[in-house]
Structure 1
Amino acid sequence: MKLLLTSGGIRNASIHKALLDLLGKPIEECAALCIPTAGYGHPMGSPEGAWRFVTGRRSICPMVELGWKSVGLLELTALPSIGAARWEPWVRGADALLVNGGDALYLAHWMRESGLAALLPSLEHTVWVGLSAGSMVMAPMVGEAFIETRPPITGEDRALGIVDFSIFPHLDHPGFDENTMACAEKWATEIGGLAYAIDDQTAIQVVDGEVQVISEGNWRCFAG
């Protein structure tokens, strides 16, 4: 799987170009599935927020509204009730998975429960486009500052670990007093491993283990 891990969606020309390069063809020739699940686990999530994401009504975080050939809705909490034989072909038929923000550990839980997490390694050509928590979920851990819902049973800070670094999103976002660089430095110390703080004009691209930062804004790498 190819990863485009963003803080604020496809916000600028550089991130847009990276997406096109990963897809290997124009967006208007690509099928996408959008995944709103993470939003339901966050205290600020709402039915209205999920609707705005899946209908492309959130222009400040462009994802669904990019001009895809087709867009479908994939709600992970529904998948265990219908069986993999039905939903796997939907996922395999998509060029891109557009994954909303919210609570990363809630998303990680439902990715495991649904079976999507286990399927990801076999999706060689699919592009995972993460927004905030939709990006953080790929990390080994998210850090105490970003835990909203403790996972059932273990309660551990354990995301999917598909990449070997953690992500601090929305760096220096206006009105987010807890997202300053000083807060990111404290968070990185607690994480203790490789980590990136990225603003909404920045994305991290991962292809075959090779990591590249795509940015028209501010970011910082913490070596751990």
Structure 2
Amino acid sequence: MKLLLTSAGISNTSIHNALVDLLGKPVAGASALFIPTAIYAISGGGDIARRVIRGSLGDPFCELGWKSLGLLELTALPSIKRELWVPMLQETDALLVGGGDCQYLCYWMKQSGLADLLPSLLYKMVYVGLSAGSMIMTRYGTSYRHHTLPPDSDKSLGLVDFALHPHLDHEWFPDNSLANIEKLAATLPMPSYAIDDQTAIKVVDGSIEVISEGHWKLLRS
């Protein structure tokens, strides 16, 4: 399993180098698919998705110089024959999963069938998460509740045994102070990583490495 769990994308040279290491090739020689689904469950999600794809919002992610870039919309997959989209996933080098609402993303990961495929895909393909796209792979996810899903539906897939709290001390997220995250982490039964937008977590077959040019903290429950 090869994961690069970022707070805000490929925000610095260290995270970029970690991505290249996971890919085993330069980004310019790699193909990628972008999943925007989680973004639609937050206010202004359609426009945010457009700006992330164009590279006009946040740090490099889609506009990173990929050899090719496609879109994979999870809400459409249940109505499409699997032989049309599964081979596309099997042939791509990186799966870019955008931020937004963890609960909405988790629901559609499962409804689409992608969640069941991920364990087998991630021995070859690199999973690159951004914010909620990263959190969903851990044992803790959040929800904005700007959707009509059942309130008790899952918020994460739990493929790695820790919690992730992105956007540490970010001015856009006043609740994400270290003091607040420490209080939350104390209520969780697993270790937590609080990371800022210059930090990512690299996971290779259970081995965890923090990649950072910023600030982060490991919080034990």
> Normalising by structure 2, what TM-score?
0.94
Asked if 2 retains the 8 angstrom alpha-carbon contact of 1:2 and 1:207, the reply is yes
Aligned to 2:9: 9
Q: Which amino acid aligns with 2:15?
A: I
Trace 1:1-224 onto structure 2 (pairs within 5 A). 1-42=1-42, 44-58=43-57, 60-123=58-121, 124-142=123-141, 146-149=142-145, 152-153=149-150, 155-224=152-221
* Counterpart-to-counterpart distance in 2, 1:94 and 1:54: 17
* Structure 2 residue matching 1:179: 3-state secondary structure: coil
Instruction: Tell me how many residue pairs correspond in the alignment.
Output: 219
* Counterpart-to-counterpart distance in 1, 2:183 and 2:89: 38
Percent identity over the alignment is: 54
* Counterpart-to-counterpart distance in 2, 1:102 and 1:137: 11
5+ residue gaps, structure 2, are none
* Bigger mean CA deviation after superposition, 182-191 or 87-96: 182-191
* Counterpart-to-counterpart distance in 2, 1:186 and 1:157: 22
The ranges of structure 1 where at least 4 consecutive aligned residues each deviate by more than 4 angstroms after the TM superposition are: none
* Counterpart-to-counterpart distance in 2, 1:46 and 1:209: 33
* Counterpart-to-counterpart distance in 2, 1:131 and 1:47: 17
Asked if 1 retains the 8 angstrom alpha-carbon contact of 2:107 and 2:154, the reply is no
* Counterpart-to-counterpart distance in 2, 1:115 and 1:185: 34
5+ residue gaps, structure 1, are none
The structural deviation recorded for 1:88 is: 0.3
* Bigger mean CA deviation after superposition, 196-205 or 150-159: 150-159
Aligned-residue CA RMSD (Å): 1.5
Q: Deviations 1:102-131 (Å, cap 9, x if unpaired)? A: 001111110000011110111111011100
Shift in CA distance, 171/27, structure 1 to aligned 2, threshold 3 Å: same
* Structure 2 residue matching 1:110: 3-state secondary structure: helix
